[in-house]
Structure 1
Amino acid sequence: MAESSGLLKGYLRKSRFDAKHAKPRTRFVVLDSKREELCFHEKEGKHCYKKIPFEEIERVVEFEEKSFILTMREVATSEKSGSSQRFDCADEKERNEWIKALELKINGDTSGLVLTLSAQRTSIHSKYDCSVGPARGRCNILGTGMSGDVRRITRLSDGHAFAMKTVNLTGVNAYKVASLRREIDILKSLDHPHISRLHETFIEQNLCVRLVMELCEGGELYARLLKKKKFSESYTCRLITKMLKALNYLHQNHIVHRDLKLENWLFRHEESKDVPEDDDIVLIDFGLSNKYKDENEKMTKKVGTCYYVAPEVLNGSYSGGECDMWSLGVICFMLLSGKAPFDGRNDEEVRRAILKGDPPKMPKSRWNRISDEGKDFVMKLLERDVCKRLTAEQALKCEWISSGLERDDSIHAHLEDSILSNLKQYSKYHELKRLAMEVIAFSLDHDEIKDLTDLFEEIDQNGCGTITFEDLFRTLRENSNISEDEVRTIFDAMDEGGMGRIHVSEFVAGALQAKYHNDETILAQTFNRFDTDRNGKITVDDLKHLLGNLATEERIERIMREFKTVNQCTDSEITFDDFIKFMRTDGEKDVDAYNARSKVRANKNKKHKRVSSHRESHPVV
């Protein structure tokens, strides 16, 4: 392999895992920084027989010790759409150089190069009890799938329960590895009350990937429907509203799920007589999801579950989140009637019924109790013309949904004085403490923060999954005499990414009680999340890893300066004891005083420079 002046070239052993009987072949590959293509030659000096444009490559994935995988976008033309190719290098160093060069050409940065599958290379057993049960039976097994089982585990530090999904990569082809990477990347980017949370990922030495997820013990929506046969219209409306909010959030962020079905909606809690119509549901399983650039980007992969799949997906040409809305229409139809809109003796007959174009039948025996608004809503979701089909944003404004919200007397954004006080205090915190509070908010059990997430949903009247400044200002003004400048200060403190919108974990972090940054167990868990390399210290590299694309040299320097000011030390590394002291110390006044002194010194320096410049240009004779 050779590298010079932006040119990377060398022999790679290439193979296609999604082609039958494909044999690995050694090819001479050239990556030129001036080109927008990857060039393949049978041998060095021979004519280039194939080129792959960088814009058609979706991602680069580390695989095993010396290999990497290229996954093609679903819009690829030079290669099979959605295909994957594996490349074997001479050693790990050469592999890393190829990955870095490819990432720079494809993404413009190397932020995706955070270990294989963005997972920790430590054993999950160091932090969680993963035993199956007291008698080594199957009591903790929640479910099984083609890739592995899902089981209930507990965190050793506090006994909190989570769900662990295991995927064994031994013998798995390149496409499935890339799909898992895509699923993890998407889950890590999501923060919504009705989407399952990915807390941590681990990769074991035996190539088993462990995903630590939020635990939902209420079972599948499918099981509830099977038991009840069908739901009341008001209950269905409430469930669909929660689903729409999750989908609106996904589509606003250009993510399509592509496998919406009753089995992929879970209840957080077991069915109870006290809450007969529980609507606390979350969306799971992003294994078939995809992130698209814009609404016009075409997807071609025929994926999904037969009864729920949209006709345009079966035809192999679709874009945006419209296919999710069709699947939601199927779910709504089934909840209201207890029957699927398109049926058949086998999957092939079901697919033919979907493609045939006839509208689903609504027999009076099943639909006479349903309002005209409810029927109209379902049919607008099952509209074959994607241009006429409701979007998630439009569906939330439909009469059937809005009238259901009006009937729900619990929808009111009442802000307690203690929450407003917490928000004001949070806006005064220094950056490291705010970051720590965000980590705490994300890691807390949902039941602990349910009142705050419910409040978040009430403030988010548009159902987009985030809060704007206008949303927060309206709510705070309704509950207090706070000024617009004060609200702006609070909003800017919570708006971590500076995107002009607040996610649910950012809001919860701002509204949490002070007891959470005094609890040593919680602080220990938070410290471990910061300490990514597990060396017992938080370093500058740890902060860069945690902040990702939001990490700038100026910001890292400011965070460390604030830490040193509060703890009155000169260390550039933060131990656990330092972290505890920092979180428990009310050092905001010290930081403000330091910043004020720095500002005065800066102004004096500017004035001195102006005077010196004036004297140099007008010397005294």
Structure 2
Amino acid sequence: GPVSMGQAAGKDDGGLAGAVNRASSKIGKVAVSGRYHRPPQKLEDDYAVARKVLGSGYNGQVFLATSKLTKKKFAVKGFKLNGVSRDKKAELEAECEIFLAMDHPHVARLVDVYQSEGRLDLVMECMSGGELFTRVQKRKRFSEADAATAAYQMLLAINYIHSHDVVHRDIKLENFLYESEESDYLKLIDFGFSKVWKKNTSMQLSCGTLAYVAPDVLMQNYSSQCDLWSLGVSVFIILFGYMPFSGSEDKQINDIKAGRYVVKKQYWERVSDVAQDFVKKLLLVDPLKRLTAEQALQHPFVVRRQAKTEEHLCAATVDALISFGTASSFRRAAMSMMAWSLTNEERSTVRQAFIELDQDNSGTVKLWEFKKVLLAKFHVKSEEAQVIFTALDTNNTDEIHYTEFLAAMVSTRISMHDDLLKATFGRFDVDKSGTITVNNLREVLGENFAGSDIDQIMREADITGSGDITYEEWIRYLRQEQGTEKQKDVAAQLIDGQLQKTNSEPKILQMKSAEFGKKGVAAGTVGKEAACCCCQ
């Protein structure tokens, strides 16, 4: 039978529980526990699901839903868990596990999961721009610049999943959606076929859509490189405007195995050698000779695309990172949770800065990248960068995930409005009692968070000392200006210590602590960075 990713389901929801635990170990407890809901939390309490079908994925139909709190639109994919075969159940668990651990600007976001008696509902961001496939159909084919921009975004998503041991196995134009009609920002969807993959092992199950399927998949002996062949087919269609393999099923299978794609001279002549070379190097039958996602991102076709030259990583962003580093544990936990409730509009204001920090395009930011960028652009010393990095890496995975970065942007770069405060309070109040108890915190954060134990975190926010946190206390705590005396002192010590260590010309962190309190780091930078596009 098919190789299933989750373990076979036990008598109860052992299979799902296992999937949730594995996702938590990859991306952090807060990221998963705040989005994975069990009774008494119900889908109907938070969303109104319409009958309108948005599309159908491999594992079921996708419906339109509206958030009862914000009135924003979402997409919901529901699965029945009762009466499905063991293999099917394992597939659903696999999809849930993989999707829960996904966290990247070019991967559709899983906002909430509701598990109830015999049912599992996945709530995703709603991508209103339609499939890449539809846009190619409308335009017949893309200009090379547009094709390169699309290829770059698709590759960022693929390189991210591959560097986190996931193979998609169904890469095609239909599985990349635009976030809106006006936008050319693409995101990868549908992990129904995906699989957690250990390097140096081969997979046997044939899956995916025939026109896009790699020869190694047809031979039933393949690795993550199968996704790069499928990307090659996708870019082929975008550039040349026709399918590389067509005809009867048998003919397609033989042509794919032989790597014989149709070359229509009149269409190829209009496309540059560089673009042709890119496609040829992806449609190589031998997966070891085929470009990897990392190599494809270095290919001149992608590198030379007409990239927007404006820089998004500006002083205000670094300011936000630094102040997050000095925030209390409770505030950091709250901001980490809030980051999962941000709207696409809110995320879109800061996401390019994250992509600029991610120097090797792996989809997360490692310590060396963080130090390198902060030193080169903002003269932040290595030790300082280390302190900030450790604060951001709330999950101790030695890398900063996209949402950990977003958490630091909340309150300084992204406003903490009522809907956000209310939605996040609800993510902590798991038993819907109307207050956040110590047990709620334990369930959501684990025994400790960012080095503080749960009782200590509770004391930070429990202003009245009642032993739980009411909504009023929650708002008062988070709305008060960040920087109780303790935090100001930490920031001041950081800067004063830095002043004593170095006496070279003034750099960002070499400001008197009093000045820091008033102006923040942005005051220490002048010129281009301070006036960049995302600071307005």
- AA aligned to 1:120 is R
**Does the 8 Å CA contact 1:337/1:366 hold for their aligned counterparts?**
yes
Corresponding position of 1:340:
243
Determine which structure has greater relative contact order: mean sequence separation of CA pairs < 8 Å that are 6+ residues apart, divided by chain length. 2
**Does the 8 Å CA contact 1:266/1:281 hold for their aligned counterparts?**
yes
Q: 1:69 to 1:525 in 2, by over 3 A?
A: closer
Whether 2:130 is the aligned partner of 1:219: answer: yes
Taking every aligned residue pair, what percent have the same amino acid on both sides? 32
Structure 2 CA distance, aligned partners of 1:473 and 1:412?
A: 21
Corresponding position of 1:123:
42
Whether 2:61 is the aligned partner of 1:149: answer: yes
**Does the 8 Å CA contact 1:169/1:177 hold for their aligned counterparts?**
yes
Corresponding position of 2:231:
328
Structure 2 CA distance, aligned partners of 1:342 and 1:515?
A: 48
Instruction: State the SS of the aligned residue for 1:419.
Output: helix
Corresponding position of 1:304:
208
- AA aligned to 1:188 is L
Corresponding position of 2:396:
498
Per-residue displacement from partner, 1:442-475 (whole Å, max 9, x unpaired)? 2211122212101211222321111223333343
Per-residue displacement from partner, 1:98-149 (whole Å, max 9, x unpaired)? x99xx99xx9xxx9xx99x9652333111112234xxxxxxx4312467543
Q: 1:223 to 1:418 in 2, by over 3 A?
A: same
Q: 1:414 to 1:142 in 2, by over 3 A?
A: closer
Shift in Å, 1:561:
1.2
Whether 2:179 is the aligned partner of 1:268: answer: yes
Q: How does 1:387-398 map to 2 (within 5 A)?
A: 387-398=288-299
Corresponding position of 1:249:
160
Q: 1:421 to 1:69 in 2, by over 3 A?
A: closer
Per-residue displacement from partner, 1:17-59 (whole Å, max 9, x unpaired)? x79xxxxxxxxxxxxxxxxxxxxxxxxxxxxxxxxxxx99951
Instruction: State the SS of the aligned residue for 1:259.
Output: coil
Structure 2 CA distance, aligned partners of 1:311 and 1:301?
A: 13
Corresponding position of 2:515:
none
Corresponding position of 1:606:
none
**Does the 8 Å CA contact 1:420/1:511 hold for their aligned counterparts?**
no
Q: 1:567 to 1:518 in 2, by over 3 A?
A: farther
- AA aligned to 1:368 is E
Whether 2:356 is the aligned partner of 1:448: answer: no
Unaligned 5+ segments in structure 1 are: 1-17, 20-54, 72-95, 133-139, 273-277, 596-621
Q: How does 1:37-436 map to 2 (within 5 A)?
A: 58-62=6-10, 67=12, 119-121=37-39, 122-132=41-51, 140-144=52-56, 148-205=60-117, 207-270=118-181, 272=182, 278-293=183-198, 295-319=199-223, 321-345=224-248, 347-355=249-257, 357-404=258-305, 407-408=306-307, 410-436=308-334
**Does the 8 Å CA contact 1:230/1:337 hold for their aligned counterparts?**
yes
Per-residue displacement from partner, 1:65-94 (whole Å, max 9, x unpaired)? x556879xxxxxxxxxxxxxxxxxxxxxxx
Instruction: State the SS of the aligned residue for 1:59.
Output: coil
Structure 2 CA distance, aligned partners of 1:260 and 1:563?
A: 45
More strand by share: 1
Q: 1:234 to 1:187 in 2, by over 3 A?
A: same
Corresponding position of 2:470:
575
Corresponding position of 2:510:
none
Q: 1:435 to 1:158 in 2, by over 3 A?
A: same
Shift in Å, 1:386:
1.3
Structure 1 CA distance, aligned partners of 2:428 and 2:112?
A: 12
Structure 1 CA distance, aligned partners of 2:4 and 2:60?
A: 31
Instruction: State the SS of the aligned residue for 2:7.
Output: strand
Match of 2:374 among 448, 468, 476: 476
Structure 2 CA distance, aligned partners of 1:152 and 1:554?
A: 35
Structure 2 CA distance, aligned partners of 1:316 and 1:141?
A: 34
**Does the 8 Å CA contact 2:364/2:400 hold for their aligned counterparts?**
yes
Greater shift in the superposed pair: 421-430 or 323-332: 421-430
Instruction: State the SS of the aligned residue for 1:130.
Output: strand
Corresponding position of 2:498:
none
Structure 2 CA distance, aligned partners of 1:68 and 1:212?
A: 20
- AA aligned to 1:362 is V
Corresponding position of 1:438:
336
Corresponding position of 1:613:
none
Corresponding position of 1:90:
none
Structure 2 CA distance, aligned partners of 1:142 and 1:348?
A: 33
Instruction: State the SS of the aligned residue for 2:9.
Output: strand
Structure 1 CA distance, aligned partners of 2:373 and 2:310?
A: 10
Structure 2 CA distance, aligned partners of 1:227 and 1:518?
A: 40
Structure 2 CA distance, aligned partners of 1:560 and 1:591?
A: 18
- AA aligned to 1:384 is V
Shift in Å, 1:491:
1.8
Corresponding position of 1:486:
384
Per-residue displacement from partner, 1:280-303 (whole Å, max 9, x unpaired)? 01100101100023x112211111
Structure 2 CA distance, aligned partners of 1:510 and 1:554?
A: 16
The aligned length equals: 481
Instruction: State the SS of the aligned residue for 1:61.
Output: coil
Q: 1:265 to 1:513 in 2, by over 3 A?
A: same
- AA aligned to 1:371 is S
Whether 2:439 is the aligned partner of 1:521: answer: no
Shift in Å, 1:423:
2.1
